[in-house]
C-alpha cells in the first residue's frame, strides 16, 4: 500500500482516537473550570513538543526528510513550548488570556503548517519521517484536539465556568 495512504489512515485514526477521548473524558472535566485552571492540563501536554526537535536529528528522522519540513516543524515546536510555559506562568495574571491566545494561535498554526507542508511539498514522503512518524500520527492529533478545546474556552462566555456560578 502507498505510504501516503497508510500515513493518512494513521493520522485519521489518531484524530478519531484522541477526539473520542477528549470529547468523552477531558472536555467534560475541564469545561466547568475557569479558563486559568481549565487550560492548565492542556498546556502541560504542549510542554512535550520538544519532541518535534527530533526532526533535526540524523538517525531519528529519515535521511531524506526535507529540511523545508524538518526545520519549521522543529523550531516551531520549540517556540510553542516556550509560549506554553509563558501561558502557564501568566495564567493567573492580567496578561494570562493574551498569553493563552498567542500560544494557541502560534501552536495551532505551527501544526497546520506542518500538515500543509506534508501534503503539498513534492519532496515530502511519509517514509522519510523515520522514527518521527509517530509525531504527526499520534501526538499531533492530540495537540490539535487540545488547541481546539482551548479555543472553545477562549471563545465561550465567562458565565459558562464554575467561577461564575
Q: So what's the pLDDT on residue 164? A: 45
- Going through the chain in order, the beta strands assigned E by DSSP cover none
Cell matching residue 159: 458565565
Q: Provide the residue ranges of all domains of the chain, joining segments of one domain with +.
A: 36-157
Averaged pLDDT in 10-residue chunks for the chain of 165 residues: 90 97 97 96 97 95 93 97 98 95 98 92 91 96 98 84 48
Grid coordinates belonging to 113: 503548517
CB atoms < 10 A from the CB of 43, how many? 23
Q: Any alpha helices (H) in 22-66, and if so which ranges? A: 27-30, 35-46
C-alpha cell at 112: 497546520
pLDDT reported for residue 159: 58
Q: pTM of the full predicted structure?
A: 0.92
Amino acid at each position: 500500500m502507498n505510504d501516503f495512504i497508510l500515513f493518512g489512515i494513521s493520522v485519521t485514526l489518531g484524530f478519531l482516537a484522541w477526539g473520542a477521548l477528549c470529547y468523552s473524558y477531558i472536555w467534560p472535566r475541564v469545561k466547568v473550570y475557569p479558563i486559568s485552571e481549565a487550560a492548565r492540563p492542556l498546556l502541560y501536554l504542549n510542554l512535550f513538543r520538544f519532541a518535534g526537535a527530533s526532526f533535526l536529528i540524523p538517525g531519528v528522522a529519515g535521511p531524506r526528510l526535507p529540511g523545508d519540513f524538518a526545520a519549521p516543524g522543529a523550531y516551531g515546536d520549540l517556540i510553542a513550548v516556550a509560549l506554553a510555559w509563558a501561558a502557564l506562568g501568566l495564567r493567573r495574571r492580567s496578561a494570562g488570556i493574551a498569553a493563552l491566545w498567542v500560544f494557541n494561535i502560534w501552536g495551532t498554526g505551527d501544526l497546520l503548517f506542518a500538515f500543509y507542508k506534508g501534503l503539498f511539498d513534492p519532496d515530502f514522503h511519509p517514509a522519510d519521517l523515520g522514527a518521527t512518524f509517530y509525531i504527526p500520527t499520534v501526538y499531533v492529533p492530540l495537540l490539535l484536539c487540545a488547541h481546539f478545546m482551548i479555543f472553545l474556552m477562549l471563545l465561550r462566555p465567562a458565565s459558562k465556568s464554575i467561577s461564575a456560578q
